[in-house]
Structure 1
Amino acid sequence: MTSSAAPAVHVRAPGKINVFMRVGAVMDDGYHDVATAYQAVSLYEDVRAYPADDFSVGFSGSIDTSGLVTDDTNLAIKAAKMLARKAGYKGGVRLEIEKHVPIGGGMGGGSADAAATLVACDALWGTEATKDDLHALAARLGADVPFALLGGTAIGTGRGDRLSPALATGSFHWVLALPEAQLSTPTVYTELDKHRERHSHDIAPAQRKPSVDTAVLQALRAGDPQMLAESLTNDLQAPAIHLSPEIGDVLELGEMNGALAGIVSGSGPTVAFLTPDLDGALDLQIALSAARLTAVRATGPVHGARIIGD
Structure 2
Amino acid sequence: MTIPASSQVVHTRAPGKVNVFLKVGAVMDDGYHDVATAYQAVSLYEDVRAYPADDFSVEFTGSIDTSGLSTNGSNLAIKAARTLARRAGYRGGVRLEIEKNVPIAGGMGGGSADAAATLLACDTLWGTEATKDELLAIAAKLGADVPFSFTGGTAVGTGRGDQLSPALAKGQFHWVFAIAEFGMSTPGVYTELDRHRDRHAQDIFPASHQPTVDANVLQALRAGDPVMLAESLHNDLQAPALHLAPGLGRVLELGEENGALAGIISGSGPTVAFLVADADSALELQVALSASRLRAVRATGPVHGARLVHD
Bucket of the pairwise TM-score, normalised by the shorter protein: over 0.9
C-alpha distance in 2, partners of 1:48/1:246?
A: 37
- SS of the equivalent of 1:219 reads helix
Is residue 285 of structure 1 aligned with residue 292 of structure 2? no
Match in the other structure for 2:75: 74
Query: Residue 281 of structure 1 contacts residue 297 of structure 1 at CA under 8 Å; is this kept in 2?
Result: yes
Q: Which residue identity lines up with residue 176 of structure 2 in the other structure?
A: V
Partner deviation per Cα, 1:159-215 (whole Å, 9 max, x = no partner): 000000000010000000001011000000000000000011111000000000000
Query: Residue 294 of structure 1: CA displacement?
Result: 0.1
Q: Which residue of 2 aligns with 1:7?
A: 8
Give every structure 1 segment of 4 or more consecutive aligned residues whose post-TM-superposition deviation is greater than 2 Å. Answer: none
User: 3-state SS of the aligned residue for 1:230?
Assistant: helix
Q: Report the alpha carbon displacement of residue 6 of structure 1 after superposing the two structures with TM.
A: 6.6
- Per the alignment, residue 250 of structure 1 pairs with 251
Aligned residue number for residue 140 of structure 1: 141
1:272 maps to a residue whose letter is A
For residue 214 of structure 1, what is the aligned residue in structure 2?
215
In the alignment, structure 1 segments of 5+ residues that lack a partner are: none
Query: What residue in structure 2 maps to residue 268 of structure 1?
Result: 269
Could you tell me whether the CA contact under 8 Å between 1:24 and 1:209 is conserved in 2?
yes
Looking at structure 1, the residues matched to 239 and 32 of structure 2 have their Cα atoms a distance apart, in angstroms, of: 19
TM norm structure 2? 0.98
Aligned AA (2:286)? Q
**C-alpha distance in 2 between matches for 1:294 and 1:248:** 16
| Structure 1 partner of 2:104 | 103
Unaligned runs of 5+ in 2: 1-5
Identical amino acids, percent of aligned pairs: 77
Q: What is residue 3 of structure 2 aligned with on the other side?
A: none
C-alpha separation in 2, matches of 1:247 and 1:211:
27
RMSD over aligned Cα atoms: 0.8
CA distance in structure 2 between the aligned counterparts of 1:187 and 1:144, rounded to whole angstroms: 17
Secondary structure at the counterpart of residue 206 of structure 1: coil
Q: Give the secondary-structure state (helix, strand or coil) at the position aligned to 1:173.
A: strand
Confirm or deny: 8 A CA contact 1:103 1:182 kept in the other structure.
yes
- Which residue in 2 is equivalent to 1:116? 117
1:7 is displaced (CA, Å) by 1.5
Q: Secondary structure at the match of 1:40?
A: strand
Residues 1-310 of structure 1 correspond to what in structure 2 (within 5 A)?
Answer: 7-310=8-311
Instruction: Give the distance between the partners of 1:267 and 1:8, measured in 2 at CA.
Output: 34
Give the distance between the partners of 1:17 and 1:197, measured in 2 at CA: 27
Question: Match of 2:232, SS?
Answer: coil
Give, in whole Å, the separation in 1 of the partners of 2:108 and 2:176: 13
Could you tell me how far apart the structure 1 residues matched to 2:56 and 2:279 are? Answer: 42
In structure 2, distance between residues paired with 1:230 and 1:66: 38
Asked if structure 2 preserves the Cα contact closer than 8 Å seen for 1:19 and 1:36, the reply is yes
